[in-house]
Structure 1
Amino acid sequence: MTAGGIASREARAAARQRLSVLTDSTSVNATTLADELAGVTGLLDRETGLRRVLTDASKPGEAKAELAGRVLGGQVGGETVDLVSGMVRSRWSASRDLVDAVEELADLADLTAAEQAGVLDRVEDELFRFGRIVVSSPELRTTLASRDAEAAQTTAKVELVRRLLGGRAEEVTVRLVVRLVERPRGRSLEGGLEDLSRLAAERRDRSVAVVTTAVPLSDAQQRRLGAALTRLYGREIRLNLDVDPSVLGGIAVRIGDEVIEGTLAGRLEEVNRRLD
C-alpha cells in the first residue's frame, strides 16, 4: 500500500497535502470523495496500459492530466478529477505506486469523514480489534482472505463482513474493511488492517504501539508505558493492547517496524531509566 522510491514518496506526500487542503473545505463530502477515489483505484488496477501512460516520465505532465480528465470526466466529481490530475503531473518511481497512492487517498478521505463526525477514535479501535479477531480465527482469515475473484465469492465475503460488523461498528469501519476484502491487491488481510490503523493514527498526528502481554496491564502500567513511549519517541503514542499467554510474563511493543521486547517490569524500568 505504501508507494516506494524517492519520486513516488514525494508525489504521494504532495497528493496527501492536496487531499488535506481539499477536505478542509466544508463543501466537500469526504465520504463521496472516498468512494470516487476507490473507483479510480479499481480502474487503474485493471487498466495496466492506462496507468503506464499516466506515469510515463517521458510524457508532459499536462498531457497526462488532460488524459486523466478525459477518462474520468463525467464518472467522478470535479474534486476527484483535480486530485488525480495533480497526481499524474508528478513523477512516479513505478506505475503501481500511483494506484497505491490513490487507494491511500481513498482510505484517508474516509478517515477524514470519521474525524469530522467525531468517531475517529472508535474507528481506529474497531480496526485494531477486528484485526485481532482475524488473527485469532484461522477459519475466518482463510475465508476473508480467499483469492477467489468470482463475483459470488466476493459478495459472500462482503456479506460476512457486514454480518460481523454491522450494528457493532461505525459505518466508516465497515466501509474500509469491505473495501479491503473486495480489493486486497496482493496484501494480507492482517497487513491491510494494520495499514488502516496506522493511517487512522497518523490522522491524529500520533503513532500506534501494539502492546502484547501475557496478562492484562493495570491502568497504572498502561499510563506508565504510554508516558515512557511518548517521551522516547517525542510524540503521542496510542496503546493498542492485546493479551497472549505465550508471551510468558513478558511484554512486546511494536511501533511500525520496530519491536521492543523484554520482561514487563524490567523493560519499563529500563525505558524510564533512559528517560530520567
Structure 2
Amino acid sequence: MRGTSQRSLDAVLDQVRPVLDAAGAETVALGEQLFAVLDAVDASSSLRRGLADPSRDAADKAGLVRGLLGERFDARVVDAVVALVTQRWTADADLATAVEALAVEATLTDAERREQLATVEDELFTITRSLIGSREARAALTEPGITPERRVGLLRAVLDGRGDAVTQALAERATLRPRGRRFVATLDWYGQIAATMRSRLIATVHSGTSLDAAQVARLESLLAQAYGRSIQLNLVHDPSLLAGLRIQVGDEVVDATVLTRLADARRRLAG
C-alpha cells in the first residue's frame, strides 16, 4: 500500500491507537470483530466498491457502515470502520487491506499490553523461517484441496503448543484466510506490523485543558525530534494541572520547556 492509501491508513491508526491502548484485555475481542468485518468486505465486491467509492458522500458511507454493523459490533469497532471508509483509497482492495491492518494491530496490542510484543514478533519470524526451510510443511498449509480444519490442525502440529496466544491466533488467521497471499508472506507482514509497533515510543501527556490539533501536531514533532523516533501520544485531561503539561515517556517525565531545548539541541547537532 502506498501514496494516498498509506496516508489514509496512517491517519486512521493515529485515531484508533489511543482507543486500543485504553481497551486493555478487550483488544483481542476488538481484533476478532475487525477480522469479521474484513471477511464481510472480502466476500462482497459490491460492498467493497461502495465503501471505497471516492465519489460517494462520506456521511452516506458512514451511515451504511453503522446500518450494517449496528448493535452487533462494539461501538469502537464501528467507529474505526467509519474512520476508514471516510478516507480516500487508491484502490478498493486497499480499504480491505487497511481493515486487516487494524485487526492485526488490535490483536498485537494485547501482546504489547502484556509486554510480550517482542516475543510475538520473534515467534512469527521463527515460524516463517521454519516454513521457508520445509517445502512439505509449507505446501500442506497452503494446498487448496485441504480443508480449513485440516490446515489448522497441521499448523497446531507445527507449533506443538508453543508460542504466545497472539502468535497462535495470527498464525491460524493466516492459515484460514490468506487473502490471495502465501501463508509465509502473510505471517511476514504481520511480523512487520509488530516490529513497527515496537519501534514507536508512547508518550502520555497530561494537560489541564484540551489540546487542539495544531498543538498535538507540534508536540508530536517536538517529541519525535527529541527522541529520534516516531511518537504515539496518549492524551489525558487532568483538571488538577492549572497550567502547562506533564509529559511521560516510559519512566521519564519531561518538562515541556526542557523538551523544546532538547529538540533544538538535537537539530543543532544534526546540522
TM-score in same-fold range (> 0.5): yes
1:26/1:193 Cα in 2 relative to 1: closer, same or farther (>3 Å)? closer
Q: Distance in 2 between matches of 1:20 and 1:202?
A: 13
* Residues 103-149 of structure 1, C-alpha deviations (whole Å, 9 max, x = no match): 0111111111101012111111110111111001101000112234x
Query: Offset of 1:40 from its aligned partner?
Result: 0.6
Q: Distance in 1 between matches of 2:154 and 2:101?
A: 24
Q: Tell me, yes or no, if the aligned pair for 2:121 and 2:195 is still in contact at 8 Å.
A: yes
Q: 1:42 corresponds to which residue?
A: 39
Give 1:16's match in structure 2, choosing from 13, 21, 35.
13
Query: Offset of 1:176 from its aligned partner?
Result: 0.3
Q: 1:204 corresponds to which residue?
A: 198
Aligned identity (percent) is 35
Give 1:91's match in structure 2, choosing from 68, 88, 91.
88
Query: Offset of 1:188 from its aligned partner?
Result: 1.4
TM-score by length of 1: 0.70
Map 1:126-137 to 2 at 5 A: 126-137=123-134
Are 1:65 and 2:62 matched, yes or no?
yes
Are 1:74 and 2:68 matched, yes or no?
no
Q: Distance in 1 between matches of 2:66 and 2:131?
A: 40
AA at the equivalent of 1:125:
D
Map 1:112-123 to 2 at 5 A: 112-123=109-120
Query: Offset of 1:167 from its aligned partner?
Result: 2.4
More helix by share: 2
Q: 2:225 corresponds to which residue?
A: none
* Residues 68-98 of structure 1, C-alpha deviations (whole Å, 9 max, x = no match): 1111113311110010011111111111100
TM-score by length of 2: 0.71
Q: Which runs of 4+ in 1 moved over 4 A?
A: none
- Mark the runs of 5 or more structure 1 residues left unpaired by the alignment: 207-233, 236-276
Q: Tell me, yes or no, if the aligned pair for 1:166 and 1:174 is still in contact at 8 Å.
A: no
| RMSD of Structure 2 on Structure 1 (CA) | 1.8
Map 1:1-276 to 2 at 5 A: 3-4=1-2, 6-26=3-23, 29-148=26-145, 153-205=147-199
**Paired residue total:** 203
